[in-house]
Amino acid sequence: MIKARINQIEVEVPEGTSILDAARQVQVKIPTLCKHKDLLATAACGICIVRNKGGNKLIRACCTPLENGMEITTHDREIVDVRRSTLELILSNHPQACLTCGRNGECELQSLAADFNIPMESIKRYVKDTPPDRSTGSIILEFQKCIKCGRCIQVCQEMQNVWALSFLERGINTRMAPAGDITLAESPCVKCGQCSAHCPTGAIVENDETAEVWRALHDPDKVCVVQIAPSVRVTVGEAFGLPPGTNLTKKLYAGLRRLGFKAVFDTNFSADVTIVEEASEFIERFVHKRGQLPLITSCCPSWTDFMEKRHYDFIDNFSTAKSPQQMLGVLAKTYYAKKLGIDPAKMYVVSIMPCTAKKYELSRTEEMYASGHKDVDVALTTRELARMLKQSGIEFLQLADGAADSILGDYSGAGTIFGATGGVMEAAVRTAYFYATGKKLEKVELESIRGLQGVKEGTVVVGGAPIRVAVAHGLANVEQVLDRVREARNAGRETPYHFIEVMACPGGCIGGGGQPYGVDNERRKLRTAGLYQDDRDCSIRFSHENPEVIRLYQEFLGKPLGQRAHELLHTRYTARPVYKR
């Protein structure tokens, strides 16, 4: 252990701990704009400078390990003056557009400027007139607001292994841009939004479509309905000052009705439908030997995009089941519309999602129009929903609890854990076990595939046969799983896994690119705990036991994997290599 002093406070930390992290342990905040808890230090911003007694220069706390006997000063007149000057230099290359910026009130640069009492209007600005990149329809790059911290590039290259973003040029001309200086849509970008989740400013934000939804809500000719993704219920509270993991399901139902939606559905319901289809698909492959193993989940649009671009040799392994978002959209405009006598052409389906890639998914292929119309009209992120609730004047946290529409709203515990890494696999195993054996799985909580380890493995014995499963989250972790499968395939050996779950974002949807800002592993754990508690609180914990799902198949779909289910609930994939050999 390393023993030292920070601002005269004794501190003892493991060897290799940075001064920045050591200071946090004794409740000393050293300001920084480039260091994020998810990422390695780059010392890019220069704001975290501190002084070591006896040293002849200021050192950067984010990348300097604390050593035995150090006596660190984090704040004195010179240090504060240097930090202030550095901030003023950064602000001189930053537009004064706080009031119209999507990060207003949640911007780390804005917050630091306030902490240092820097009068924004006094800063002389030297900002290049660079137009934003809106090419993906999901994410917007506001180049003028970039402070060159490098977080987005680290995330894109190291955490996600996508390599869509990079630094271009040198010296004072250095800038962040899609690799090769092309548009983001032309790059390998998979629209996961982790760049926006980690950006300290408004340089990378989601494509805000709240104005379009407001117009629809005020249109008397439209019947606006809404669905809420599993993870949103345990994250939206953060935008209103509540701790991560606080479950606001019933408040969301009430708030969305107050906004003007005629029906409120829960994507947990269609997650149950997804499991019924996906588990049936697995049984077809594993038990009846019809199709390739391993079966790979496909409910994450960033992952399917990544697969089509980089791992298209696994297309035949992909589940053809649509994501819960798309399943609920098509069921709303067919099953629900028919039951209530609503013209589907007048229905306007909005989804509230943790994910920027969901904006891309809703027009990904022609199967996303299976109802004869666009199945989901608009996808909003959790952040966009929070803005709408605040704009509406609704005292959201004071609302009496509401309820979802039962037809597409009742859900099982298996549906709600979709929002956490490992949750889709756990839900699928619960139902696949029943389909294979006719018995209920006794131990429903699969601890081996829970948690934040990048790759998790487990085995479930079904009818005497072991099912080997793997779970990966964060796209950089996918490679080792797929490489093991390729290696076995090329050697003619049995596949190491029968079932694989992949989520693009670390932690799964609870860490999605459209969730409230400030994500790190501490928040991921709390958000995940909220979903697992919701699962435990549910009277039904198996997707196939959901009475409304059973009724849906009896009245409308027929049987899982049947003709109508295939027409409405399944999709296809196409190889789309970014770099053709």
DSSP assignment string, 135-150:
TTSSEEE-GGG-----
> In 3D, which of 414, 400, 504 has the Cα closest to residue 190?
504
The span from the CA of 379 to the CA of 481, in Å, is: 31
pLDDT for the residue numbered 128: 86
Dihedral sign, Cα of residue 501, residue 505, residue 507, residue 513: negative
* Annotation marks residue 548 as catalytic: no
Residue 18, classed as helix, strand or coil, is strand
Residue 404: C-alpha distances to residues 107, 259, 411, 455 (Å): 34, 14, 10, 35
Domains (range + CATH), the chain: 2-75 (3.10.20.740), 89-206 (3.30.70.20), 223-569 (3.40.50.1780)
DSSP 211: H
Catalytic residue check, 169: no
**Got the DSSP string for 412-454?**
-HHHHGGGSTTHHHHHHHHHHHHHHHSS--S----GGG-SS-S
**Which member of 191, 509, 538, 543 is catalytic?**
509
Distance CA 277, CA 569 (A): 8
Split the chain (581 residues) into runs of 10 and give each run's mean pLDDT.
94 95 95 94 94 91 95 94 95 91 94 91 85 96 95 96 94 89 95 97 97 97 98 98 98 98 98 98 93 95 97 96 98 97 97 98 94 98 97 95 95 97 96 93 92 95 90 96 96 95 98 96 98 97 97 97 97 87 47
CA–CA dist 529, 409 (Å, integer): 22
Q: Which of 206, 281, 308, 384 is catalytic?
A: 281
pTM reported for the whole predicted model: 0.94
Distance of CA 560 to the CA centre of its chain: 29
Eight-class DSSP state of 571: -
State the pairing for strand pair 49-52/59-60: antiparallel
Strands 347-353 and 295-296, bridge-based pairing: unpaired
User: Is residue 3 helix, strand or coil?
Assistant: strand
What is the reported pLDDT for 580? 58
Establish whether 395 is a catalytic residue: no
- The 8-class DSSP code of residue 386 comes to H
* Alpha carbon separation from 357 to 133, 161, 360 (Å, rounded): 16, 16, 5
Q: Is 299 a catalytic residue?
A: yes
358-369 b/e (C-beta count within 10 Å ≥ 16 → b): bbbbbebeebbe
Residue carrying the six token digits 């975290």: 48
- Distance (Å, rounded) from C-alpha 306 to C-alpha 188? 8
CA count, 13 A, side-chain hemisphere, 289: 0
Q: What whole-number distance in Å separates Cα of residue 459 and Cα of residue 438? A: 19
Indicate which residue of 189, 299, 300, 505 is catalytic: 299
Q: How many CB atoms sit inside 10 A of residue 476's CB? A: 17
Quote the CA–CA distance of 281 and 284 in Å, as a whole number. Answer: 5
The answer to whether 319 is a known catalytic residue is yes
Residue 80 CA to residue 6 CA, distance in Å, equals: 16
The owner of tokens 């964060």 is 474
**Which residue spans within 59-200 are E strands per DSSP?**
59-60, 71-73, 139-141, 165-168, 175-178
Known catalytic residue: 101?
A: no
Q: Spot the catalytic one: 277, 361, 384, 501.
A: 361
Predicted local distance difference test score (pLDDT) of residue 121:
80
How many C-alpha atoms does 556 have within 13 Å on its Cβ side? Answer: 23
Catalytic residue of the set 196, 231, 319, 371: 319
